[in-house]
Structures are given as structure tokens and as C-alpha cells.
Amino acid sequence: MKKIKPLKEYNTEASKGVYKHIYADVERFMQMKMKLRDISTLVYYNIKDELKGRSILDIGCGYGRFCFMAAQSAERVVGVDMTAQAIEVAKILRKALNDDKVEFILSEANDINLKEVFDYIYMGGVLEHIIDPDSAMKTIDGLLCKGGKLLIDCPAEFNFRGIISTAFWKLFNFPMTLTDVRVVTLSFIEELAKKYEYELLKVLGYGYSRGWSEMAYKDLEHRMSQVLKDVNDKIQMVDVDKKSFDSWVLEITNHYSKLLDDWKQREILKPIPVREEVIFNEDVLRDNNMPVKVVKEFFGQDIMTEPYYSDVYPYNTIGSIGIYILRKK
């Protein structure tokens, strides 16, 4: 039997190469992330009214979607990403917006070298990729002012899709994505807050369709095919009834879709506000070979496939994405 490479080693080696590859194709990346773009909108609207005259650091900024939103209210915005391709595109987009409030820096999360502190720090889809969260938190803690807020969003486990995915992860030590090294649970965030003396102010749930209903079915159908193939190749499993599994998942997710409709009617799930319009200089985009239509759509106002969130316990803990707002004591 061929030994499966330990997950942490696998991701340490793969992470930068994966992101270098996917960020290089701007159109493909934006289309891939389109369904999750409303996370940053939700985070922004939870702090928008507080941002006037404030500074914010976005760690793992990608192409800068959150940065450009935050700059509509904040005094200073700095975006950091470990991938040179992402920073290069973000700077082109900044030029197309003529936005001098935003600065972009190439750096890893645990090695940010800035001689200032910020009122807010945002980590969107980052913590689940970091091998050493303590090292990152020490860096973050030194960059956040006393009383400042740390905003974290990451995939959550306690939903139908998350439980199935994590079960495969734990059973076979095999990732459902190339670069995730951990599942970030509420208890993990609470322990992190206690260790570094932060107060957990708010928990928001997002991505209920992706966690429970038709999007969960489509996502599991796609991911399981690849995972089963890879596991079979490595440990020689046989007689996997994928068709029966898909049928069972479809039945379960159809049932949960009805529950989501009920939660919407009861306002347990609430609509995400429509973001403010971002207007690009299209000539600058074209001059830099940016896909104008896709860029405008990615940064546009329309809410996409996940227009609902919850701040009602315990429903706010069972979305496919958890958003955590903490304050430094």
C-alpha cells in the first residue's frame, strides 16, 4: 500500500504553487470565486459605519475586492497577499479605480513588516490555510491597536457539506481542497481569542445553500469524484458506490432546502445588503489585458448565489462559512 503524504506537508509544498497558478488566470479565478464574493460584502457592512477616519489591513487580499470596498469608508487601507500575481492584478485594478487610499504589499501572513498599527484587520479565507496560526496571530496582534477589531471568515464544519467533507478528511487524511490544513470551528476561534486576550463580539453564518441544499449537493458530487479517485489510486479501495452516495446526498439536501425556506420566512436568514457601486476606468483595464466584463461582474453590486446570512444562535454556527468579529482587549 502506497503511503499517503501527511496533509500538512502536502499543503506546505503545494500552497504557493497552487495560488500562483490560479491567480495568473484572472478571468478563471474571478469566475471561480464569484459564488463566494458576497462574504466580503457582509463583513464590510458589519463595520462600514465605524470605518470613517480609521485604518484597516486586509491579510490575504487577493485582487483587493474587500480593500476597494473598505476604501469607500476608511481613511487608509493596506492589502497583503503572498502571491505576486494577485498583488500585480490588484495594483492594476487600483489604477483603474484611481484609488490612492489603498496600498498593496507582497508578504506572507506571519512575516508582515509594517511600522504601524491598524484599527481593523481582516483575514478572509486565510486561517484555514496557515500551518502555524500562533505565528500568524503574534504578527497580527502586533499590528492591531488596543481595542481594534479582528475580522475572520473561513469555511465552517457544522453543516451537512462540512460534516461529509470532514469525515473523508479524518478517515483518509486526504484534503477536500489543495490548500486547507485545518477545519476552523467556533471552539478553535474561542480558544484563539482566550489565548491572545481578545473578546469574541459577534458570530455570523453565511453560505447556507452551499452547506445544506442544492449547492451542497453539486459541490459534494464534484469533490467526492476527485477524492475517491485519488484515494482509490493511493490505498486501492474497491467497490465504491458513488451513484448511491449521490442519490442519498440529493435526498438529504432536497429536505434541507425546505428548512432554509422556512428560516428565510422566519427571518432567521436575512438578506445581505447590496454593496456600493465600484466604477473602473475601462481603458486602463483593457490596456492591461484585464477581462473587463468579468472584472465588472466580480466587483459588481448584484448579490450572487448566497444572498442570506444569520446572526441568530445557533443558526449562525451552521453556515458553510463562519464570520467572527473579535476585539483586542
Instruction: Give this prediction's pTM.
Output: 0.91
The pLDDT-based confidence of 10 (bands split at 50, 70, 90) is very low
Distance of CA 150 to the CA centre of its chain: 15
What is the tens place of the pLDDT at every residue in 250-269?
A: 999 999 999 999 999 999 99
- The CA radius of gyration of the chain, in Å to the nearest whole number, is 20
Instruction: Return d(Cα 156, Cα 318) in angstroms, integer.
Output: 7
The pLDDT-based confidence of 111 (bands split at 50, 70, 90) is confident
| pLDDT value for 8 | 43
Total Cβ atoms within 10 A of residue 211? 28
What is the tens place of the pLDDT at every residue in 23-77?
A: 778 888 888 777 667 889 999 999 999 999 999 999 999 999 999 999 999 999 9
CB of 208 closer than 8 Å to CB of 319: yes
| pLDDT value for 5 | 42
The pLDDT-based confidence of 324 (bands split at 50, 70, 90) is very high
Q: Which fold has domain 7-156+180-207+270-328?
A: Rossmann fold (3.40.50)
What is the tens place of the pLDDT at every residue in 167-198?
A: 877 777 666 566 777 888 999 999 999 999 99
Query: 3-state DSSP: the chain helix, strand, coil percent, rounded to 5?
Result: 50, 20, 30
Total Cβ atoms within 10 A of residue 250? 16
Q: Which parts of the chain are beta strand (E)?
A: 55-59, 76-81, 102-106, 118-124, 144-155, 198-206, 270-271, 308-310, 321-328
